[in-house]
Amino acid sequence: MSGKPPPRYDEIADWYPTWVGDGDGSIVDGVGSLLPTTLRGARVLDVACGHGRASRGLARRGAQVVGVDLSTDLIAKARARDASDLLGIVYCAADVAQPETWWNGVLFDGAVCEMALMDIDDIAATCNAVAGTVRRGGWFLFSMVHPCFPGNDAGLSSWPPDRSYFDEGRWTSTDHNPNGVRIRVGSSHRTISTYLNTLIDAGLAIERVVEPSAPVPTILLVACRRAP
């Protein structure tokens, strides 16, 4: 018995789909405009896929999708949904940062990660895994809580409330939205320079950055491409 704690999202697996919605597409507005114009036949990796919402959206646009997530409970929900939808999505309960545990060696045309990088403990290993499993010239698109600004319209920070923007690390706040996810599983705050330099170090060139309109910027979208 390893004593390793269960994935954080296993503890909220029944609640989480009710919060973000159990739909068939992107959680965040604007993601679709950054995707390739056609996904028909494209092989796409969904990083930290959760209960498969983004995976289903990609599959309905014609992509061949592999979704990977640490949470066995969320993966079970994704598989149960696909058993009735028959979209042919392959779901793996695994750490995406360890491709040897889930990847069959066939390169992906692209990858997405929706609202999850701030939940991932080792983003360097994750970005390296994306760069290593996506073909040269392939794309990587992710959305995340904006690391530079307060995390919602109420002005609650994206970093520990009692610390500063430059204090990186895992944190949970009882002062944040009692109906939201951060109070339940916390978040890993990092500066924008940490995120961008991690992408660069992994060989992922930044092509487009979007901040969806809001009274206070709350979401950041980034499109990258593996060097050809």
Q: Please report, in tens digits, the pLDDT of each residue of the chain (228 residues total).
A: 445 677 888 888 888 888 888 777 887 888 888 999 999 999 999 999 999 999 999 999 999 999 999 999 999 999 999 888 889 999 999 999 999 999 999 999 999 999 999 889 899 999 999 999 999 999 999 999 889 876 555 556 677 777 888 989 887 766 666 677 777 777 788 999 999 999 999 999 999 999 988 887 888 999 999 988
Strand stretches in 70-173, DSSP E: 90-93, 108-114, 134-145, 169-171
Per-residue DSSP letter, 116: -
For residue 201, is it within any domain? yes
Work out how many domains the chain is built from and give that number: 1
For residue 30, is it within any domain? no
- Strand partners of residue 110: 44, 139
Q: Hey, what amino acid is at 136?
A: R
For residue 200, is it within any domain? yes
- pTM score above 0.85: yes
For residue 23, is it within any domain? no
Predicted confidence at residue 194, as pLDDT, reads 96
Predicted confidence at residue 155, as pLDDT, reads 56
Q: Determine the structural domain holding residue 146 and report its residue range.
A: 8-12+38-226
Q: What is the CATH number of the domain that holds 149?
A: 3.40.50.150
For residue 91, is it within any domain? yes
Q: Give residue 3's Cα distance to chain centre.
A: 26
Q: Could you tell me the two tokens for 121?
A: 């403990």
